[in-house]
Amino acid sequence: MPTTDMIRFENVKKVYTGIESKSADIVALHNVNLSIQKGEFVFVLGHSGAGKSTFLKLILREEKATEGRVFVNGRDLSKIRQRDIPYLRRGLGVVFQDFRLIPSMTAYENVAFAMRVTNIPERQIKRRVPYVLSLVGLSGKAHSLPQELSGGEQQRIALARALVHSPPIIIADEPTGNIDPELSVEIMELLQAINSLGTTIVVVTHEHDLAARFKKRTILIDHGEVVDDGVSPYGKEAAYL
Amino acid sequence: MRLSSFKYLVRQGWHSMVSNRLMTLASIGVLVACLMITGVAVLLSVNVGSYVDYLETFNEIEFFIDDSAPADVVENLKLQLPLAQNVAFCEYISKAAAVEDMRGWLGENGDVMNDYAGEGNEQNPLPASFRISLTDVSDMANTVQRLQSMGAYAVPAQDGTAVTYNAFYRINSPTELSSTLVNLRRIVSYVGWGLVIVLGVVSVVVISNTIRLTVFARRKEINIMKFVGATNAFIRLPFFVEGMTVGAISALLATGIVGGAYYGLEQALLQPDALWLSEFTRCMLPFFEIIGPLAGGFLLFGISIGGIGCASSIRKHLKV
Ligand SMILES: Nc1ncnc2c1ncn2[C@@H]1O[C@H](COP(=O)(O)OP(=O)(O)OP(=O)(O)O)[C@@H](O)[C@H]1O
Ligand SMILES: [Mg+2]
pLDDT (tens digit, 9 = 90+) per residue, B237-291?
888 888 888 899 999 999 999 999 999 998 888 777 766 666 667 778 889 999 9
pLDDT (tens digit, 9 = 90+) per residue, B63-116?
999 888 888 889 989 998 888 888 888 999 988 888 888 888 887 777 777 878
Instruction: State how far the Cα of B59 lies from the Cα of B144, in Å rounded to an integer.
Output: 12
Nearest to A102 among B221, B227, B229 (CB): B221
ipTM: 0.85
Nearest to B2 among A102, A113, A119 (CB): A119
Q: Which residues line ligand 1 (CB under 6 A)?
A: A 16, 26, 28, 46, 48-54, 206
Instruction: State how far the Cα of B162 lies from the Cα of B135, in Å rounded to an integer.
Output: 35
Nearest to A86 among B1, B224, B230 (CB): B230
Atom 29, ligand 1: residue with shortest CA distance: A49
Q: How far does the centroid of ligand 2 lie from the alpha carbon of residue B56, in Å?
A: 77
Instruction: State how far the Cα of A130 lies from the Cα of B292, in Å rounded to an integer.
Output: 52
Say if the Cβ atoms of A88 and B229 lie within 8 Å.
Answer: yes
Atom 11, ligand 1: residue with shortest CA distance: A28
CA count, 13 A, side-chain hemisphere, A10: 10
Which has more confidence, B19 or A197? A197
Q: Buried (b) or exposed (e) across A12-25, using 16+ Cβ within 10 A?
A: bebeeeeeeeeeee
- Domains of chain B plus CATH, in order, are 3-55+179-317 (no CATH), 60-173 (3.30.70.3040)
Question: What secondary structure, in 3-state letters, does A19-58 show?
Answer: HHHCCCCEEEEEEEEEEEECCCEEEEEECCCCCHHHHHHH
Instruction: State how far the Cα of B306 lies from the Cα of B309, in Å rounded to an integer.
Output: 5
Nearest chain A Cα distance for residue B27, angstroms: 26
β-strand partners of A69: A10
For residue A113, the chain B residues in CB contact (below 8 A) are: 224, 228
Instruction: State how far the Cα of A6 lies from the Cα of B187, in Å rounded to an integer.
Output: 68
The H or E element that residue A87 is part of is helix A85-90
Picking from A5, A64, A73, the residue whose alpha carbon sits closest to that of residue A29 is A64
* Cis, bond preceding A233 (omega within 30 deg of 0): yes
Say if the Cβ atoms of A117 and B230 lie within 8 Å.
Answer: yes
Compute φ and ψ for A21, nearest 5 degrees: 50, 25
| Alpha-carbon separation of residue B233 from A119, A130, B209, B237 (angstroms) | 11, 28, 20, 6
pLDDT grade for B38, boundaries at 50, 70 and 90: confident
The answer to whether B226 faces chain A, any CB pair under 8 Å, is: yes
Instruction: State how far the Cα of B229 lies from the Cα of B123, in Å rounded to an integer.
Output: 99
**pTM of the predicted structure, to 2 decimals:** 0.68
